[in-house]
Amino acid sequence: MDATISVICFKSKTLANGEHPLMLRVTKDRKRIMKSLGLSVHPNDWDFDRNEPKPKCANRKYIQQIILKVKSEYQTKLLEKSAREEDYTAETLVREQAKPQIQTETVDSFYRRTIAQLKQEGAVGNAYAYMNSYYLLKKFNDDKPLSCLFSQIDDAFLSAFESWMRSRGNKETTLSFQMRTLRAVFNRAVKAKIVSKEKNPFAEYKISKFNTRTPKRALSKADIMKIVNADCTLEKPVCRLAHDLFVFSYLCGGISFVDIANLTPESIAEGRLIYRRQKTHGAINIPFSEQAKVIAEKYAAYCEHAGYLFPILNMHRHITPQQKQNRVHKVCRQVNLALQDFAKRQGIKATVTTYVARHSFATVLKKSGVNIGIISEALGHHSLKTTQIYLDSFENSQIDAAMQNLL
């Protein structure tokens, strides 16, 4: 007696989301074997008489494709066994045919699950980027849950998403960032077997087409010296801090605000500033000048209590990665507002933020004739891989000599 192959909605088991799993049922010699397809449907979306998804089922075509594919594979296996007059049972048939199945999960569910996982792992930066991507996609979807499957995200979807962002006035850098984030989430879904890699639309849709070059934000050396030499004695505390952090960044290789925030006494050793970048985790080892030392010593009392060089983070208050990130963002915003106001009062027309110190550091060295390879990593432009390779290829002595040109 030949085996019969069918797919049923298993009402005896209800998942947490209220759906029932779809099961492959193989029957031979009055013995049944059930195997999950990795799919589930809400009972309202399943026609139990016809044993198929109802027309209104959102994932109907996808489910039908999976059912057809699985049944076809088993029917082919049955024909092969029949032709060879090979004996088998329902159990051995299922065992032989068993292989990894693509599991269905909506884009909405996978995004939320991934964000929660990243937060739990302490990867708050990625979690924030994915959350930003998730909410933007929801806006694109008229603020409705992303109930579609990853297999439904195709070139047409990406083109429509791109057009929608452009209609909102988003810049090329934003378009590139959002598409790269969506691509990263899609790759995670492929790895989790939520969607097959053959369905990845980014094989055809090229993110490299976006022009992500941004206008240079460096100050002239004359404007930099206005800030460096300014007397901040009578300024408000937040303005004095903003001034000190800008000058410190400029003197210390264009160190970013988040990296300054995470500096501890252990970051200074034998006259050098040694740390790992929060963004790339690349190791930095640069000379710690006397001017930078004087700035850091202003906050020695705070450092002794809080464990950090500058009054941004506090080891007793900011413990979790999320707490640290929230605090850094808050103080950075306050510092940048104070810095812009201070710069205007110094007669500087350009917009000045802590990040401008990074560009200014690099530009001043470049104009002084320093090899672009030595300074490119501090900017983090274009390709981080390339800049990191450049950085690793130079001796400390070369970087030390280059930084003599700052003042």
Please identify which residue in the block is written with the tokens 């080891």. 315
Instruction: Inform me whether the pLDDT recorded for 373 exceeds 90.
Output: no
- Single-letter code of the amino acid located at 323: Q
3-state helix, strand, coil in the chain (%, to 5): 55, 10, 35
The structural domains of the chain, with segments of one domain joined by +, span 4-97, 107-209, 221-405
- DSSP β-bridge partners for residue 36: 23
Which contiguous run of DSSP H or E holds residue 169?
Answer: none
* Res. 279: pLDDT tops 70: yes
What does the mean pLDDT of the chain come to?
Answer: 85
Helices (H) and strands (E) in the chain, counts: 16, 8
The one-letter amino acid at 378: A
pLDDT band at 321; cut points 50, 70, 90: confident
pLDDT tens figures, 227-277: 989 999 899 999 999 999 999 999 998 899 999 999 999 999 999 999 988
Pairwise pLDDT comparison (365 vs 197), residue with the higher score: 197
* CB-count burial class (<10 Å; 0-12, 13-18, 19+) for 365: buried
Please report the pLDDT score of residue 220 as a whole number. 82
Angle between helices 107-121 and 172-191 (to 10 degrees): 90
Arithmetic mean of pLDDT, 370-374: 66
What is the pLDDT averaged over residues 83-99? 80
Per-residue pLDDT of 292-304, as tens digits, reads 999 999 999 999 9
Q: What is the pLDDT of residue 158?
A: 94
What the block records as the tokens of 287 is: 């000379």
On whether the CB atoms of residues 405 and 370 are closer than 8 A, the answer is: yes
CATH for 221-405? Answer: 1.10.443.10
- Express each pLDDT in 234-246 by its tens digit: 999 999 999 999 9
Collapsing DSSP states into helix, strand and coil, what is residue 62? helix
Q: Contact at 8 Å (CB) between 232 and 240?
A: yes
CA 19 → CA 53, 194, 220, distances in Å? 13, 17, 63
| Percentage of the chain lying above the pLDDT 90 cut | 45
Structure tokens at 337: 């507002």
- The token pair at 40 is 């589930």
Do 115 and 127 touch, CB atoms closer than 8 A? yes
Q: Do 47 and 63 touch, CB atoms closer than 8 A?
A: no
pLDDT at residue 82 in the model = 84
Identify the pLDDT of residue 83: 83
Find out whether 313 and 328 touch, Cβ atoms under 8 Å: yes
Confidence of residue 101 (pLDDT cuts 50, 70, 90): low
Distance (Å) of CA 260 to CA 54, 65, 228, 257: 58, 54, 18, 5
Structure tokens at 139: 């806006």
* Stated pTM of the model: 0.58
Strand order in the sheet with 31-41: 4-9, 20-28, 31-41
pLDDT tens for 42-89 read 999 999 998 899 999 888 888 888 889 888 888 888 888 888 888 888
Mean pLDDT calculated for residue range 116-141 = 91
Q: Are 52 and 13 in contact (CB under 8 A)?
A: no
Helix or strand run (H / E) with residue 269 = strand 268-269
pLDDT band at 389 (very low <50, low <70, confident <90, very high): very low
The CB-side HSE value for 179 (13 A sphere, CA atoms) comes to 31
Q: Tokens representing 118?
A: 């990243």
Q: And the tokens for 34?
A: 């059930």
Give percent of the chain above pLDDT 70. Answer: 87
